Chains A and B, each alone.
Chain A
């Protein structure tokens, strides 16, 4: 079975520094893959490469059988990859409702959108996602005034509004309370049934709870891949990652 996303021998250098060095990964449809690794391992850079924010120096990215290497961000997003950023990026001057509406991006053609005032299917989807994200009572507030946890939720909600085939979540639970983390874990497990996710996370407890597959990155390359049990018993991982955490 071919992966939904295939990363082949990806390399990225800034000037002479190799940030991503011959990184390959295959993400199977319908799984939740956690990407872990110490700071500076290249996790966020990998996300940037997948979503087209930066272009790889060499290597190939295949999504759902299509080569997406070097494509623009919006082309990759339309192909079905949604992304939540590490530092939550919502449209702060717009209301929560407007944020979710913009994210419901089935129709992206500017000329078509000029003539569109009511988006079919929007209301149901918006209600569903707002309820899921717990933002129903905040819909008409400006996104800029939301708390940190709510902002995280709004951005997750925006990704869900896109209904992508693959969701990239960069540190989704950073700054969340214990209760919010539990809720996130519950929803991610629910999402896993219908979609594919790559989650970058530091919190090993959270990873243990949600991950089907754990991929460990180190110095821009793949260090190990497997189930959480395999990873946690892998001595190499212990050295570079878990060891570091214990020391900290």
Chain B
């Protein structure tokens, strides 16, 4: 085994980790703050990609501006979703899971009816589609962009949740909804904004994934299970999701180096099941609710 290829695998792992992390960010926030398992997350990622595609294709917006625009568009969709459906289901976790799957079905089929099942492509500036070398390792520029955007978003979320008034409110609601309400915090509004934020993050992920892969109505499906596992392993906290994504990204890459991509994926799934056998609450669990 030569050093260069191991390094290559490690760098690839970092890239995989950033993709899984950005897919899981929105989910983590929604699950962590409101306890909602949002099965529509994959469909929201897909919407992000189609938003970018529409803006680029019909309006001619440059790609870099499509990323924040996707955030806004999908956040608005998330907001409507929360007000129209999710807010009625907060104390029924299994029903939220099912209802959001219904939402995913509607979104995916709706997009398929409008845009058809043939793949769409997002064009990126020349420089993004190049790659460069570090020593003997070839790195695609766009994957570095994904990594950078992920890091930026993580930092942004950290600032938002730990350095702002809104963050204090969210954490207060997470701790104890009734108590927070008695301090004049509007829990319903906090949930609504968190959900919109989580959806918006899915939109950003979509606008990036649309470049990494082709844009298809079903493109979100392949990310959603993976993203859920990152949240579950992480125990619903931001730090947990980051560590889970990083660890499984690197492991995936290492396993794939010795076997192949599909088998590596299988191994990761099995490892996660074993992990949860011993730490069912995930890495950084909130304290269990007592009677």
| Chain A residues engaging chain B, CB cutoff 8 angstroms | 85-87, 89
Identify whether the interface residues of A are mostly helix, strand, loop, or mixed: loop
Complex Cα–Cα for A87 and B291 (A):
7
Smallest CB–CB gap between B195 and chain A, Å?
Answer: 29
CB proximity of B68 to chain A, nearest CB, Å: 42
Which residues 238-291 of B have a CB within 8 angstroms of A?
291
Interface of B is mostly: loop
Residue positions of B touching A, CB distance < 8 A: 291
Quote the shortest CB–CB distance from A16 to chain B (angstroms).
Answer: 14
Residues of A within 8 A of B291 (CB): 85-87, 89
B residues in contact with A86, CB < 8 Å: 291
Residues on the B chain within 8 Å of A85, using CB: 291
| 4 residue pairs from A and B, CB less than 8 Å apart | A85-B291, A86-B291, A87-B291, A89-B291
Closest to A86 in B: B291
| Min distance, Cβ B189 to any Cβ of chain A, angstroms | 29
CA distance A85 to B290 in the complex (A): 12
CA distance A85 to B291 in the complex (A): 9
Q: Once the chains are docked, how many angstroms separate the CA of A89 from the CA of B291?
A: 9
What's the Cα separation between A86 and B291 when bound, in Å? 8
How long is the Cα–Cα vector from A87 to B290 in the complex, in angstroms? 11
Taking the closest CB of chain A, its distance from the CB of B131, in whole angstroms, is 49
Report the minimum CB–CB distance from B285 to chain A (whole Å): 13
Q: What's the minimum C-beta distance from B273 to chain A, rounded to whole angstroms?
A: 22
Distance (whole angstroms) from the CB of A168 to the closest CB of chain B: 14
In the bound complex, what is the Cα–Cα distance between A87 and B289 (angstroms)? 14
Residues of chain B lying within 8 A (CB to CB) of residue A89: 291
Q: Give Cα A45–Cα B291 distance, bound, in whole angstroms.
A: 11
- Nearest residue in A to B287 (C-beta to C-beta)? A14
Q: How far is the CB of A169 from chain B (nearest CB, A)?
A: 15
Which residues of B sit under 8 angstroms from A87, Cβ to Cβ? Answer: 291
Chain B residue with Cβ nearest A14: B287
What distance in Å separates the Cβ of A83 from its nearest Cβ neighbour in chain B? 11
Q: Roughly how many angstroms separate A9 CA and B291 CA in the complex, as a whole number?
A: 25
Shortest distance between the CB of B91 and any CB in chain A (Å): 14
- The complex places the Cα of A53 from the Cα of B291 at a distance, in Å, of 11
A89 to B290, CA, bound (A): 12
Determine the residue in chain B with the shortest Cβ distance to A15: B287
Residue of B with least CB distance to A45: B290
The residue in chain B whose Cβ has the minimal distance to the Cβ of A85 is B291
CB distance from A88 to the nearest CB of B (A): 10
- Closest Cβ neighbor of A54 among chain B residues: B290
* Shortest CB distance B278–A (Å): 16
Top 4 A-B residue pairs of the complex, sorted by shortest distance between their CB atoms: A87-B291, A85-B291, A89-B291, A86-B291
Assembly CA distance A80 to B291 (angstroms):
22
Q: How far is the CA of A77 from the CA of B5 in the complex (A)?
A: 58
Please give the distance in Å from B36's CB to the nearest CB on chain A: 23
CB distance from A48 to the nearest CB of B (A): 9
**How far in angstroms is the closest Cβ of chain A from B289?**
12
Measured CB to CB, the closest approach of chain B to A143, in angstroms, equals: 16
B234 to chain A, nearest CB (A): 21
The answer for the CA separation of A86 and B290 in the assembled complex, in Å, is 12
Shortest Cβ distance from residue A232 to the other chain B in the assembled complex, whole angstroms: 31
* Shortest CB distance A52–B (Å): 14
In the assembled complex, the CB of A188 is this many whole angstroms from the nearest CB of chain B, namely: 23
In the bound complex, CA of A10 to CA of B291 (Å): 22
A145 to chain B, nearest CB (A): 18
| Closest Cβ–Cβ distance, residue B291 to chain A (whole Å) | 6
Distance in angstroms from B286 CB to nearest chain A CB is 14
CA distance A148 to B291 in the complex (A): 17
